[in-house]
């Protein structure tokens, strides 16, 4: 993987939603907003551990208020004590429970949300991952205590292994057999070691692809594209370097086979072909006085022609055909989203 220097600890003060030098599990690297129900609903929160508000994008009205938790598919999983509770994001109603052993913590969910993943340090210096559903809990043991969760889809459990010399690797564990692949997942042209800070991540609607944005202390950035079905990873370097705070302005938006990455801080926009795993379009962007250090919220219009961007103080709309900002106004927005008919909602 592309190598980045570890982010200085001071960044944790500026960026509370991201963990410095840690894996990008959903609890420590969650986006402030995420699409649900095939784009009909929008969930958002102020931080990774805050309660979640679900909004109906057809009306702009709140559909449900959910506790903190991890979102997968149209489900949110919340842990209280040792009890896992699944909530249907569409209705806000409880959809089942399960019990984790004492001393376990919730570290993630499957891409469809139907399974929760717990972690418990086991005797003998090993780590136990607990795959929990509303039908029961299965335990998988991994030697050592340097492990964390990355993703789960079908029979593929992706883990993070922290390295003693710094950095970490993505490793594959087969749920059915409990076998851990000996080699890390890696881009064939890069090292298997990842350095830097996982800043945000975005999953494809069908749950197959997971995109993680990494930023380095030197302001360099990349997208780690993980195909969860084939267990293949690729790294796509993004333009811009030399300004860490500008790098925190990257935002991701996905439509079909195209992943858009926009950065008002650096003034850059790129389109990534998901299948080819490379940048296929790039242009400059000018949005003066963009807020830095708090992340950029982004939403793609239903017809794929506009991307709405917000920094908490300003809402700007980028016209992709025009390659420029077509509107800009002041306004606080914790999230932005488009209705099915193309109306832009700014949500607080």
> Considering only CA atoms, which of 173, 167, 121 is closest in space to residue 151?
173
CA distances from 167 to 8, 25, 108 (A): 14, 15, 21
Whether 239 has a pLDDT exceeding 90, the answer reads yes
- pLDDT-derived band at 116, boundaries 50, 70, 90: very high
pTM of the model: 0.86
Contact 265, 238 (CB under 8 A): no
Q: Give the right CATH number for 11-347 from 2.60.40.420, 2.130.10.10, 1.10.260.40, 2.30.42.10.
A: 2.130.10.10
| Token couple for 313 | 């103080």
Task: Outline where 248-286 has alpha helix (H).
Answer: none
Q: What is the pLDDT of residue 32?
A: 75
Whether 24 has a pLDDT exceeding 60, the answer reads no
Residues 289, 37: Cα–Cα separation, whole Å:
35
**What would you report as the CA-atom Rg of the chain, rounded to the nearest whole angstrom?**
19
Q: What is the pLDDT of residue 265?
A: 92
- pLDDT-derived band at 124, boundaries 50, 70, 90: confident
> 10 Å Cβ neighbour count for 256?
9
Q: What is the pLDDT of residue 180?
A: 94
Q: What is the residue-wise DSSP string for 60-122?
A: TEEEEEE-S-EEETTEEEEEETTEEEEEETTT--EEEEEEPPTT-EEEEE-TTSSSEEEEEEP
Residues 312, 96: Cα–Cα separation, whole Å:
35
Contact 315, 308 (CB under 8 A): yes
Q: Which residue has the higher pLDDT, 37 or 98?
A: 98
| Token couple for 148 | 């964390």
Tens of pLDDT, residue by residue over 250-259, are: 999 999 999 9
| Token couple for 336 | 């932005």
| Token couple for 294 | 């708090």
Residues 136, 132: Cα–Cα separation, whole Å:
6
Burial (0-12, 13-18, 19+ Cβ within 10 Å), 41: buried
Average pLDDT, integer, range 284-310: 90
Q: What is the pLDDT of residue 34?
A: 85
Residues 20, 7: Cα–Cα separation, whole Å:
6
- pLDDT-derived band at 13, boundaries 50, 70, 90: very low
Sign (positive or negative) of CA dihedral 19, 24, 28, 31: positive
Tens of pLDDT, residue by residue over 299-329, are: 999 999 999 999 888 999 999 999 999 999 9
CA distance between the termini of the chain: 37
Residues 99, 97: Cα–Cα separation, whole Å:
7
Contact 32, 297 (CB under 8 A): yes
Look-up: residue for tokens 């003060």? 13
DSSP lists the bridge partners of residue 305 as none
């Amino acid at each position: 993987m592309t190598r980045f220097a570890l982010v200085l600890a001071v960044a944790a003060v500026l960026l509370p939603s991201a963990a410095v030098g840690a894996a990008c599990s959903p609890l420590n690297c969650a986006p402030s907003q995420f699409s649900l129900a095939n784009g009909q609903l929008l969930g958002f929160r102020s931080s990774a551990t805050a309660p979640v508000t679900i909004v109906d994008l057809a009306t702009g009205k709140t559909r449900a208020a959910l506790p903190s938790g991890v979102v997968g598919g149209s489900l949110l999983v919340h842990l209280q004590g040792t009890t896992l509770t699944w909530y249907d994001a569409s209705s806000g109603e409880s959809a089942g429970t399960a019990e984790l052993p004492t001393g376990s913590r919730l570290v993630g969910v499957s891409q469809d949300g139907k399974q929760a993943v717990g972690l418990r340090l086991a005797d003998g210096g090993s780590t136990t991952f607990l795959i929990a559903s509303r039908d029961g809990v299965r335990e998988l043991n991994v030697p050592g205590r340097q492990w964390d969760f990355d993703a789960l889809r079908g029979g593929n459990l992706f883990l993070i292994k922290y390295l003693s010399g710094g950095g970490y690797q993505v490793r594959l564990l087969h749920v059915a057999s409990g076998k851990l692949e000996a080699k890390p997942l890696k881009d064939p042209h890069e090292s298997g070691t990842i350095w830097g800070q996982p800043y945000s991540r975005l999953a494809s609607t069908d749950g197959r692809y997971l995109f993680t944005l990494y930023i380095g202390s030197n302001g360099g950035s990349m997208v780690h594209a993980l195909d969860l079905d084939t267990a293949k990873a690729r790294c796509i370097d993004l333009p811009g370097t030399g300004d860490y705070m500008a790098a925190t302005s990257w935002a991701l938006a996905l439509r079909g086979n195209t992943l858009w990455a926009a950065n008002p801080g650096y003034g850059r926009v790129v389109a990534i072909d998901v299948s080819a795993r490379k940048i296929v379009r790039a242009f400059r962007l000018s949005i003066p006085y963009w807020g830095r250090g708090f992340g950029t919220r982004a939403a793609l219009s239903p017809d794929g022609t506009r991307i709405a961007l917000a920094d908490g103080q300003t809402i700007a709309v980028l016209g992709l055909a025009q390659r420029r900002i077509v509107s800009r106004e002041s306004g606080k927005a914790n999230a932005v989203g488009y209705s099915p008919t193309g109306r832009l909602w700014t949500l607080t």
